[in-house]
Chains A and B, each alone.
Chain A
Amino acid sequence: MTEAVEPDFDVIVVGAGPAGSVAAYRLAQQGLSVVLIERGEAPGSKNLSGGVLYGRVLDQVFPGFADEAPVERRITRHVTTFLTPDSAVSLDFRSDRLAEPVNAVTVLRARFDPWLASKAEEAGVFLMAGVRVDALLTEPGPDGSPRVVGVRAGEDELRARVVVAADGVNSFLARDLGLRRTEPTNHLAVGVKTVLRLPRAVIEDRFGLTGGEGAAHAIVGDCTLGIGGGAFLYTNTESLSLGVVLRLDDLVRSGRTAIEVFEHLLEHPGLAPYLRDAQVTEYGSHLVAEGGAAMVGTIATHGMVVVGEAAGLTINSGLTVRGMDLAIGSAIAAADAIVEAVAAGDVTASGLAGYRRRLEAGFVLRDMATYGRAPKFLERTGMYGAYGELAADVFHGVFGLDTTPRRHLLGVARRALKESPVTVRQLISDGWAGVRAL
């Protein structure tokens, strides 16, 4: 082997999203020299705004973060809505137990990501913004497979003992090394999202909130025009985040564009009461990995670990989209494993194996396995059309007082089911699959 070049840093972290910033922070806290490279002019500038952060994991890194970080609202109300073209059936879960300790908050990435990155900077991380990493520097590793020794951007090279690939869903770093295959389209979804401006008081009125409380609505049914996926509507302080997540294969099959489906959602009468007079201020589209545990491949190799969405760590259960919490969880596990590996002087794949071990012991890979069936469950097309109709018929039977005598609820349900294309067998089978998947 050639004489090893002295590295510029202990660790290079690529990507200043939640995964990268938390990993960098945690590494610097434990005394390693770290550079955090972000292609955007500032952290968050390239990241699609908004979302619900299931924040308990961030409390492990920054206790009580919700009091300090730029969070929008604390979610105390989760609403699940089945839409049909002309009706909406909702299940409303609100509980003070969701408020204390803080379970979930809404964040706008343009504000939240810079905060996280500034915490890393305060801990001593060298933040390098406006630089896109073009390639990994590799040398032959102990077993012949490549060992990552640094990164290249433009004409410059930077060397480190370990590289952390935190470069998001399209992770070209992981792909570059052949750690991730090109995903089949049923493992990918496309998300379209917008931020709609509304005055604070109007939001609190419409969504039944007070103070810093927030609501998260998950919407399924007619909102996606029968395409596998769902929609969400989250409250920020003075804006709403509205989006759809559509299965790529289904979308392609439907011959529609994501924008078309999104516009259908924007104009849906079931959402009109919430969206009236709101102004679109931001608009974006992004891929989401939703292959469940099936998509997580090799996450540690010689001199490199892959964290967050770059490692395929997202869960789309149909009712919740999770990614930021898993990104943070994986970042903690990776950072601690790297500290251990650097101390032991072994940053090969086996030296970094502590990363996967920690992930398996923690919530990240367990949740990935638990929800592993969710994508399959959501492939059952009833979820997107017929069930909404069925639920609407049942509730219409109960509340639609048209002077005919009321039937017992069970009778209403039976009749609705008889008129629905959904069979009892299918309902039971999907119900069972759902219970197992969610």
Chain B
Amino acid sequence: MKIVVAYKWAANPQDAEVGPDGTVDWSRAKGAVSEYDPVAFELARVLADTCAGEVVGLTVGAAAIDTPLARKAALSRGLDSLVMVADDALRGADGTRIAAVLAGAVRAIGDVDVVVAGESSVDVGDRQVAMTLAAQLGWAGLNAVRAVTADGGSLVVEREVAGGVETVVAGGPVVLAATADAALPRVPGMKEILGAAKKPTQVLDLAALDVPAPADTIAPVSTARPDTGNRQGVMLDAADLPAAAAQLTAALRQSGVL
């Protein structure tokens, strides 16, 4: 079975700066494997080990995603090989375009049985790239996946649905988006990182993938801090509890809540 892990080399939100007006400055943010993706690596590796499968990592983005550090960070997480599309034409590309390029790369890799992705990316949080990829490929798409096992040629997939768990069987090729806690990802050790440097990486040429230019590009026109409502930020000293309780009821009365 050929398993592709689609992951993102994403800017770390911890390094982003949010201005008082809500503008976000990503210029100092460093790249890393997006926070929810290691779960996908883990699911894919475990699945491959039970069915003598092969795991290929796949990421697309701007030229800067291809560094020795970025390659090792991915290859040390249980991949057999890595495929990248690193082209500045993809800088700031929206989720739909990323999904289209991923689809082109999956076709180029060939004979893929399943693509596993994380729930969403940590920087953009589109929550649609995996399902758009399924649509682009004309494959089935399943999100909220909490477990997957091989059963002969098909996959048994457990999904989290409202109020419970649903089990489905996928026969044909399928794209899966894992929940954030579907597996406990291993932290790569020194031997895995050393081994990573010896595994093959293939860089695909964007032009050769023949992905049609997007009909439209979606870009945010503004960002804003979350609305904190009309909080008044009153703090009561709780050293003397009964007194604090009295102050609280008085304050609630005064503001008309009680």
Given A110-B30, A114-B30 in contact, is the A127-B69 Cβ separation under 8 Å? yes
Give the Cβ gap from A369 to chain B, nearest Cβ, in Å. 39
Give the Cβ gap from B79 to chain A, nearest Cβ, in Å. 16
Whether the pair B189, A281 counts as a contact (CB closer than 8 A) is: no
Q: Is A263 an interface residue when CB atoms closer than 8 A count as contact?
A: no
Task: List CB contacts (< 8 Å) of B31-83 with chain A.
Answer: 31-32, 68-69, 72-73
Task: List CB contacts (< 8 Å) of A324-362 with chain B.
Answer: none
The residues of A that contact B187 with a CB separation of less than 8 Å are: 130, 154
Q: How many residues of A contact B (CB 8 A)?
A: 25
Looking at B105-113, B166-174, B191-199, the stretch in contact with chain A turns out to be B191-199
Given A42-B69, A110-B30 in contact, is the A279-B20 Cβ separation under 8 Å? yes
Q: Tell me, in angstroms, the Cα distance from A130 to B187 when the chains sit together.
A: 9
Residue of A nearest to B29 (CB): A110
Q: Is A204 an interface residue when CB atoms closer than 8 A count as contact?
A: no
Q: Is B28 an interface residue when CB atoms closer than 8 A count as contact?
A: yes
* Chain B residues touching A, majority SS: mixed
The residues of A that contact B30 with a CB separation of less than 8 Å are: 41-42, 45, 110, 114
Question: Which of A37, A111, A127, A279 is B68 in contact with, Cβ under 8 Å?
Answer: A127
Question: Which of B20, B28, B31, B193 is A131 in contact with, Cβ under 8 Å?
Answer: B193
Task: List CB contacts (< 8 Å) of B7-32 with chain A.
Answer: 12, 15, 17, 19-20, 28, 30-32
Q: Tell me, in angstroms, the Cα distance from A121 to B197 when the chains sit together.
A: 13
Q: Tell me, in angstroms, the Cα distance from A42 to B32 when the chains sit together.
A: 8
Q: Tell me, in angstroms, the Cα distance from A182 to B213 when the chains sit together.
A: 63
Q: Is A156 an interface residue when CB atoms closer than 8 A count as contact?
A: yes
Query: How many cross-chain pairs have Cβ atoms below 8 Å apart between A and B?
Result: 55
Residue of A nearest to B16 (CB): A281
Residue of A nearest to B32 (CB): A41
Q: Is B207 an interface residue when CB atoms closer than 8 A count as contact?
A: no
The residues of B that contact A156 with a CB separation of less than 8 Å are: 189-191
In the complex, which range does the number of interface residues on chain B fall in? 20 to 34
Whether the pair A128, B20 counts as a contact (CB closer than 8 A) is: no
Q: Is A8 an interface residue when CB atoms closer than 8 A count as contact?
A: yes
Give the Cβ gap from A238 to chain B, nearest Cβ, in Å. 10
Convert B211-230 into 0s and 1s, putting 1 for each residue whose CB lies closer than 8 angstroms to a CB of A: 00000000000000000000
Whether the pair A129, B69 counts as a contact (CB closer than 8 A) is: yes
Q: Tell me, in angstroms, the Cα distance from A279 to B19 when the chains sit together.
A: 8
Whether the pair B69, A158 counts as a contact (CB closer than 8 A) is: no
The residues of A that contact B193 with a CB separation of less than 8 Å are: 128, 130-131
Whether the pair A155, B68 counts as a contact (CB closer than 8 A) is: no
Give the Cβ gap from B152 to chain A, nearest Cβ, in Å. 34
Q: Which residues of A contact B (CB under 8 A)?
A: 8, 35, 37, 41-42, 45, 110-111, 114, 121, 126-131, 153-158, 197, 279, 281
Q: Which residues of B contact A (CB under 8 A)?
A: 12, 15, 17, 19-20, 28, 30-32, 68-69, 72-73, 187-191, 193-194, 197
Contact sample, A vs B, 19 pairs, CB 8 Å cutoff: A37-B190, A41-B12, A41-B30, A41-B73, A42-B30, A45-B30, A110-B15, A110-B28, A121-B68, A128-B72, A128-B194, A130-B73, A130-B187, A130-B188, A131-B188, A153-B189, A153-B190, A279-B19, A281-B17
